[in-house]
């Protein structure tokens, strides 16, 4: 059996993990793929840097183009991240007739439509299981395992850094800033944590999940994105008292009016399995018509978990090297000609329930004014909780409300009017609420 020669772009954490998994499980992988898989060439920015893997037998270079242009290489594995250089390298690899495996969610979310079209023209594959939720085989589950289903919605904890922060805030009563600093020390968050805590990383991943779930083009720019930096310790605590937990969710839902695509902090009932996914773990809950709800849980990052997904893609590529390109599993689950540009709902048209916290003057009539405004917007209140004020805020009370499901634009109008009341101090804190039943 002639080996399949692989060129690896990036020898960092995931690249090193990929080398280790291929070496450690070589016999099993060969039995599954039908041919040996050998990494013969790799690129790294710093050739002197210590590695987590043994590169014996691998030609290592600082020039990634030397890898993609090598005629002896069959498959390129792109693990350098980012968008500009990675895009150039992947396009060159496709032009050279090489299959591509990538863990780069930004690359796929922002450029996948173009890359898949180029790959189809050249008769090659672009595989991207590792781009979403690390080692959880969620792409394969939706694209193949649920191929007989009409998917109604999905909701995912798809950023481990944000989940770690919210878990620490809940379990230890800590503030966001303190936990973020610890996450950076532990290596869970970058020095600039914006991509994680402001929801951009999760939005990249939701773009991909929604596309394969609903057969729509990749549309990162249409996702409503909100991070966790404004979630306060008291909101986490109040949510717990009300029977909920706050999770940073990516939600995609099919409705009669269009597709919802949104990333934001969300209250979910604490009894839901996904509400109990803690620390840096990831989970995706998928609701489809035939099988009902299915939950996929596991490590969303790390050397070996992500390498697991990379190597699984390599095995898939090797299995299909001799397959007629027209009969391969489509990149986005649906046949390219069947991709449908279903409208994406603006956030103002989305319907959901809400958790609201406001600081109100401790005097008669305030709640009556607030509930009157909600009534004018046809917003029903499900529960009200009034908390004693802290010592430094004598004269005000925290009022927590849970609304029933309402269109977001109605809630926006109600909150604008409430915030104009003299009896309400500052902005009303709002966190969306989903039952996920």
Is 230 a residue whose pLDDT tops 60?
A: yes
Read off the pLDDT of each residue in 283-306 and give the average, rounded to a whole number.
96
- The helix-helix angle for 105-122 and 84-95 (nearest 10°) equals 20
pLDDT classification of 393: cutoffs 50, 70, 90: low
Task: Compute the distance between CA of residue 303 and CA of residue 17 in angstroms, rounded to an integer.
Answer: 5
Q: Is it the case that residue 340 has pLDDT exceeding 60? A: yes
The mean of the pLDDT values for the chain is: 94
φ, ψ of residue 60 in degrees (nearest 5): -105, 130
Neighbours of 116 (CB within 10 A): 23
Give residue 212's pLDDT.
Answer: 97
**What values do phi and psi take at 59, rounded to 5?**
-80, 120
pLDDT of residue 383: 93
pLDDT at 322 over 80: no
> Which range is least confidently modeled, 108-122, 168-182, 313-327?
313-327
pLDDT for position 290:
97
The upper half-sphere exposure of residue 297, i.e. CA atoms within 13 Å in the direction of its Cβ, equals 10
Residues 122-142 have a mean pLDDT of 96
Average pLDDT of the segment spanning 364-371: 93
The pLDDT score that the predictor gives to residue 240 is 95
Residue 332, pLDDT score = 78
Please, are residues 372 and 250 in contact by the beta-carbon 8 Å criterion? no
Give the pLDDT confidence of 36-57 residue by residue, as tens digits.
999 999 999 999 999 999 999 9
Whether the CA torsion 100, 101, 103, 105 is positive or negative: it is: positive
| pLDDT (0 to 100) of residue 147 | 96
Q: How far is CA 401 from CA 69, 248, 281, 322, 357, in A?
A: 60, 20, 30, 60, 7
Separation between Cα atoms, residue 90 and residue 78, nearest integer Å: 7
pLDDT > 90? residue 389: no
Q: Provide the pLDDT for residue 325.
A: 72
Of 98, 317, 49, 311, give the one whose Cα is nearest residue 89: 98
Q: pLDDT-based confidence at 109, cuts 50/70/90? A: very high
CA–CA dist 128, 317 (Å, integer): 11
Catalytic residue among 98, 205, 247, 287: 205
Q: In order of start, what are the domains of the chain with their CATH numbers?
A: 4-135+303-338 (3.40.50.720), 139-299 (3.30.360.10), 352-433 (3.30.70.260)
**For residue 370, which of 355, 360, 385, 383 has the smallest C-alpha distance?**
360
Position 391 pLDDT exceeds 60? no
436: left (phi over 0), alpha (psi -120 to 50) or beta: left
Tell me the mean pLDDT in the region 133-159: 97
pLDDT at 190: 85
174: left (phi over 0), alpha (psi -120 to 50) or beta: beta
Mean pLDDT of 334-344: 87
With beta carbons less than 8 A apart as the criterion, state whether 262 and 346 touch.
no
Mean pLDDT of the 262-286 span: 97
pLDDT 10s digits, 56-102: 999 999 999 999 999 999 999 999 999 999 999 999 999 999 999 99
* pLDDT at residue 395 tops 90: no
Q: What are phi and psi of 228, to 5 degrees?
A: -110, 5
Name the residue among 364, 355, 346, 368 with its Cα closest to residue 418: 368
Active site residue 205: yes
Instruction: Give percent above pLDDT 70 in the chain.
Output: 98
- Per-residue pLDDT, 392: 62
pLDDT of residue 193: 94
pLDDT digit string (tens) for 203-215?
Answer: 999 999 999 999 9
């Amino acid at each position: 059996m002639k080996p399949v020669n692989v060129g690896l772009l990036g020898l960092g954490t995931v690249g090193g993990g990929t080398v280790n998994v291929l070496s450690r499980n070589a016999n099993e992988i060969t039995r599954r793929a039908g041919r040996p898989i050998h990494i013969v060439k790799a690129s790294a920015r710093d050739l002197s840097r210590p590695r987590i893997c043994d590169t014996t037998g691998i030609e290592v270079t600082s020039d990634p183009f030397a890898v993609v242009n090598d005629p002896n290489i069959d498959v390129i594995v792109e693990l350098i991240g980012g968008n500009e250089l990675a895009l150039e390298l992947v396009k060159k690899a496709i032009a050279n007739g090489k299959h591509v495996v990538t863990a780069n969610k930004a690359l796929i979310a922002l450029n996948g439509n173009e890359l898949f079209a180029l790959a189809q023209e050249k008769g090659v594959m672009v595989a991207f299981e590792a781009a979403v939720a690390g080692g959880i085989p969620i792409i394969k589950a939706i694209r193949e395992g649920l191929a007989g289903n009409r998917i109604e919605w999905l909701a995912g904890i798809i950023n481990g850094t944000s989940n770690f922060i919210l878990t620490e805030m809940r379990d230890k009563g800590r503030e966001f800033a303190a936990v973020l600093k610890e996450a950076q020390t532990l290596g869970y968050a970058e020095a600039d944590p914006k991509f994680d805590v402001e929801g951009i990383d999760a939005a990249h991943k939701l773009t991909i999940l929604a596309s394969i779930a609903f057969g729509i083009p990749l549309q990162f720019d249409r996702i409503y994105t909100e991070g966790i930096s404004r979630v306060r310790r008291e909101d986490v605590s109040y949510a717990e008292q009300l029977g909920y937990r706050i999770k940073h969710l990516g939600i995609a839902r099919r409705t009669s009016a269009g597709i919802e695509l949104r990333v934001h902090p969300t209250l979910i009932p604490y009894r839901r399995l996904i509400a109990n996914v803690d620390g840096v773990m990831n989970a995706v809950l998928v609701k489809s018509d035939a099988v009902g709800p299915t939950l996929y849980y596991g490590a969303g990052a790390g050397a070996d978990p992500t390498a697991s997904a990379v190597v699984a893609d390599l095995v898939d590529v090797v299995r299909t090297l001799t397959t007629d390109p027209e009969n391969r599993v489509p990149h986005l689950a649906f046949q390219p000609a069947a991709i449908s540009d279903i409208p994406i709902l603006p956030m103002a048209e989305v319907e959901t329930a809400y958790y609201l916290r406001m600081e109100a003057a401790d005097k008669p009539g305030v709640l009556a004014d607030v509930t009157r405004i909600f009534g004018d917007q046809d917003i029903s209140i499900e529960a009200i909780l009034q908390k004693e004020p802290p010592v430094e805020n004598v004269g005000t009370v925290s009022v927590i409300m849970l609304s029933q499901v309402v269109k977001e634009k109605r809630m926006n109008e109600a909150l604008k009017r409430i915030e104009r009341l003299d009896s309400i101090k500052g902005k009303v804190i709002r966190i969306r609420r989903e039952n996920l039943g």
